[in-house]
Structure 1
């Protein structure tokens, strides 16, 4: 049946919205056009979208003073796992000698510190919070250590003026690009594991870097690190590397962690004569080759590969006097004869103290 003239379909349903309507369907309230356009549609596709320029959400002051029992001249404040959501609510301006501040595992979304911390603060730990943008650090020119791991960062910004930084920890964020580190000439340790990085880049000014942690990213090539002459530790586990390259100019490299990649052979390490630890576990390496120059090797982790020859183990490793630990479990040489496996390794490598997780000789 057709609706009567001048009457909308909703008029026949007095319960619609719980309000009465007139003959034209108007219920006395101004309604938004059903065809309204969403201007920031990215919110719909990204549940964690945040506008960098939006005003901060109003914070409700805490019912208690978490720092009331702290001496005003304290130099180390630790409020881990205290459900802190507002830094200003802590009234940190009371403390003028703070050198270490730990606010890990809280609910902080915005970095807001009073200027009184600027001259003294050296170590800042904001691990496991809700921070999506690096802001509010401009005055902390004496900061040496910054931990923003397990937050919601997508970009590295507003750091290159913090020239005293020696340690940066940005593990488990959503960072796609290494950037914003120019000028950090004192940086010794950079941790960017468990992000979304596809390329090693923009490390040119980090001449003092000794440790670079890039595990669990999406990197397909080892490059742009040849200038890092002081690098001692490189962790590039759980990436997409088909071969070892780009390390020949790193004579000071002592530890290389390159497990869980797509390696089929050991190569590119001839000049890394100071290498002490090599982890190639969980690859597809079939032969222990190209290890002759690694005379200082102490630990070889090679579990879950395709190694099958005890003779090759003896030939390549028996003369390495400093070698004390090997991991060969889940290789054909272990899977084919698990009962005899450790005895055969001990006979082949009499200097060994540990085979997999088992100590076989006390030094």
Structure 2
């Protein structure tokens, strides 16, 4: 896994659900953005204020475009038996004009980057619909989802939703995306026992709570919230990935309750120590960049570690690096740029890392020549 790049812009058109960019496997970046969005740097966001301003809610700020007449039928050329409806960046304001009731075999509907305020007409597709995508619209409430019992993936990211509700009947759900809304509480997920991935990055959440029933959950994305405490993760027996960058975490000890973790993204928090991480012996990827950590003590038991991103901390001693990492045979990638050990002697830094950790094949963004 190389250093990921992501500028937080939305993908304009995607052919296959949420795996748009197979080559971009990065999960985080130096800004703490939740890289699970998997989107290219060249893409544009229809409502960019939703990204740049956390208080964004003014519909007048939405980029204007040519209005489509109310009587224009955008789907007139779609066959009645189509299994996919795609109307991306089409300036749709009301779903009524789409006349969805004529389609009887739709598995996926994608209405990304429009001006939709209310979800309407999906009941007519309930018998077959599995994937619902309203990324980057103007939706205030989670309504209009009644009867959708077969949905496995729901994306309402980049809207104006304040409360998670009206989805308890979606018991087949596996992926739920609610990135960049105005959600302040994790709630009403108790019946979604098949959920494997939950994305709540860039909201207003202060507490990790109400997750105990999500026994199948493997990935939890909580970057860019206001979380101060890692308690609330116990009882998730399959959780392997936790993304909680850009929060206010100071203590890692609650992570003992999730020993199954394989990937942990903790950049841009308030850590000054790695104490408490000793129990997470299954960790393969650890991102602690942009904290105030001066010692790597705590990494000793993490024999499976493959990647350590520790840029922009207070690490000063190569002896400390050697003590805690030299015996990690699986370690292939380290990031130490921006630490005193790099800033004091930048010309010698890379060679020193190579001598200290001969098993490593990548130092920062540069691959080491064998």
Return the TM-score normalized by structure 1. Answer: 0.82
User: Which whole-Å CA distance do the structure 2 matches of 1:361 and 1:317 have between them?
Assistant: 20
* From 302, 314, 327, the counterpart of 2:310: 302
Deviation of 1:114 (Å): 4.2
Q: How does 1:217-296 map to 2 (within 5 A)?
A: 217-296=225-304
Equivalent position of 1:122 in the other structure: 130
User: Which whole-Å CA distance do the structure 2 matches of 1:165 and 1:264 have between them?
Assistant: 38
Is the CA contact 2:158–2:179 (under 8 Å) kept in the aligned structure 1? yes
Deviation of 1:175 (Å): 0.6
1:222-272 per-position Cα deviation (integer Å, ceiling 9, x unaligned): 011111111000011100111112111322210000111110000222221
Paired residue secondary structure (1:278): strand
Is the CA contact 1:98–1:120 (under 8 Å) kept in the aligned structure 2? yes
Per the alignment, do residues 308 and 60 of structure 1 end up closer, same or farther by CA in structure 2, a change over 3 Å counting? closer
Give the paired residue count.
Answer: 309
Per the alignment, do residues 61 and 136 of structure 1 end up closer, same or farther by CA in structure 2, a change over 3 Å counting? farther
Q: For the aligned residues, what is the CA RMSD?
A: 1.8
**Any runs of at least 4 consecutive aligned residues in structure 1 with deviations exceeding 2 A, and if so which?**
46-50, 59-64
Equivalent position of 1:175 in the other structure: 183
Matched, 1:342 2:353: no
User: Which whole-Å CA distance do the structure 2 matches of 1:146 and 1:114 have between them?
Assistant: 13
Deviation of 1:47 (Å): 9.1
User: Which whole-Å CA distance do the structure 2 matches of 1:272 and 1:76 have between them?
Assistant: 42
Equivalent position of 1:203 in the other structure: 211
Deviating more after overlay: 132-141 vs 245-254: 245-254
Paired residue secondary structure (2:124): helix
User: Which whole-Å CA distance do the structure 2 matches of 1:252 and 1:47 have between them?
Assistant: 37
Equivalent position of 2:40 in the other structure: none
Matched, 1:317 2:295: no
Equivalent position of 2:117 in the other structure: 109
* From 321, 338, 363, the counterpart of 1:355: 363
RCO (CA 8 Å, sep 6+): is it higher in 1 or 2?
2
Equivalent position of 1:70 in the other structure: 78
Paired residue secondary structure (1:146): strand
User: Which whole-Å CA distance do the structure 2 matches of 1:330 and 1:114 have between them?
Assistant: 51
1:14-57 per-position Cα deviation (integer Å, ceiling 9, x unaligned): xxxxxxxxxxxxxxxxxxxxxxxxxxxxxxxx99599xxxxxxx
Paired residue secondary structure (1:101): strand
Unaligned runs of 5+ in 2: 1-54, 60-66
Per the alignment, do residues 47 and 292 of structure 1 end up closer, same or farther by CA in structure 2, a change over 3 Å counting? closer
Equivalent position of 1:144 in the other structure: 152
Equivalent position of 1:94 in the other structure: 102
User: Which whole-Å CA distance do the structure 1 matches of 2:263 and 2:198 have between them?
Assistant: 15
Paired residue secondary structure (1:343): helix
Equivalent position of 1:41 in the other structure: none
User: Which whole-Å CA distance do the structure 2 matches of 1:361 and 1:222 have between them?
Assistant: 39
User: Which whole-Å CA distance do the structure 2 matches of 1:149 and 1:250 have between them?
Assistant: 27
